[in-house]
Amino acid sequence: MTEGIPFNVPFLAVAVMVGIAFYIIISQRNLIKLVMGLSILASGVNLFLITLGYREGGVAPIYTHTPAGIMVLPIPQALTLTSIVIAVACLALMLSMVIHIYRHTGSTDSEKSRLMKG
């Protein structure tokens, strides 16, 4: 395992996650499944941000009781922190709107709750 991974496996995992999330958003009609697809998309983007900043054989960029060695990049980890908090806030708002739509129309189908018919 000292020569590393032969080709970019984590970037392929990100491509598969984003592809599955876009397929869910296009083709599903239930509102809860739409929200799940958006959450998978947010997780895929967070994974992409973290794997951009990995150095071969590195340790965490913290100086308290750390072993010697080169450190991984700290800036993508800071951007991922912000992205996770924003995803949680958007998920809370989306789920409360789904509760309100269910109270008004009585079903969670997105075809039955359109305002403009015709």
Partner 1 sequence: MSKIVRTMSSLLVLFVFIYGLYIIMHGHLTPGGGFQGGAVFASGVALLIVAFGSNNIHKSLKEHHLSVLESSGALIFIGMAFGGLAIVFFYNFLVGSPIFGHIPPSGPNPGDLWTGGVIPFMNIAVGLKVLAGLSAILLVMALATTIMEVEE
Partner 2 sequence: MRKIAMAVSLSIFIGFLIATAFLIHPFGYPPSEMDDYIIENAQSETGANSAVTAVVFDYRGFDTLGEATILFTAVTGVVMLFRKKKREE
Q: Where do contacts with partner 2 occur on this chain (CB under 8 A)?
A: 4-5, 7-12, 14-15, 18-19, 22-23, 26-27, 51-56, 61-64, 71, 73-75, 77-79, 81-82, 85-86, 89-90, 92-93, 96-97, 100
As measured in angstroms, the least distance from the Cβ of 19 to partner 2 is 4
Residue 31 in contact with residue 110, Cβ under 8 Å?
yes
52: region left, alpha or beta (phi > 0 left; psi from -120 to 50 alpha): alpha
Is residue 104 a contact residue for partner 1 (CB under 8 A)? no
As measured in angstroms, the least distance from the Cβ of 41 to partner 1 is 21
As measured in angstroms, the least distance from the Cβ of 113 to partner 2 is 16
3-state DSSP call for residue 71? strand
106: region left, alpha or beta (phi > 0 left; psi from -120 to 50 alpha): left
> Which x/- pattern over 20-59 shows residues binding partner 1 (rule: CB under 8 A)?
----------------------------------------
The C-alpha atoms of residue 30 and residue 101 are separated, in whole angstroms, by 12
